[in-house]
Amino acid sequence: MFEVLLITGMCAVTYLIRSLLFIAAQQVRLSTNTQQALSFVPVAVLSAIIAPAILSSDQQTLNLSMHNPALIAAMAAIVVAWWRNSLLFTLVAGISVFMLTRWGLTSFF
């Protein structure tokens, strides 16, 4: 019984904190410059997450050689994204090139 009360209390506290923040956020008006600056946050966060995975092979050293399958796949995905402007084609191209360079065509690079 104690566990049920504990979980219910945690749910209530979490809901209360989040709802108060949403209610307070409705009262705040951001300037146009601040809204424009905040629009770049998702791109910056995604770049900070993806760049280390692409540019390093063992998460410690920088690997910019053509033997890095993630780097080759990223370059292919960038080209396909620019050419087709389609998320599906970009994902398929990036994953396909990564699989080919990692497990299939490594002897050619």
The pLDDT value recorded for residue 25 is 76
pLDDT at 106 over 70: no
**Residue 34 identity:** T
pLDDT digits (tens, 9 = 90+) for 33-88: 998 999 999 999 999 998 888 887 666 777 777 788 888 999 999 999 999 999 99
Confidence band for 93, pLDDT divided at 50, 70 and 90: very high
- Tell me if 30 sits within 8 A of 38, measured CB to CB: yes
DSSP 8-state code for residue 57:
S
pTM of the model: 0.60
Which residue in 82, 57, 55 sits closest to 71, CA to CA?
55
Which residues make Cβ contacts (< 8 Å) with residue 66, sequence separation at least 6?
A: 72, 109
Distance CA 35, CA 55 (A): 31
pLDDT digits (tens, 9 = 90+) for 5-40: 999 999 999 999 988 878 887 788 888 999 899 999
Which residue in 38, 68, 36 sits closest to 51, CA to CA?
68
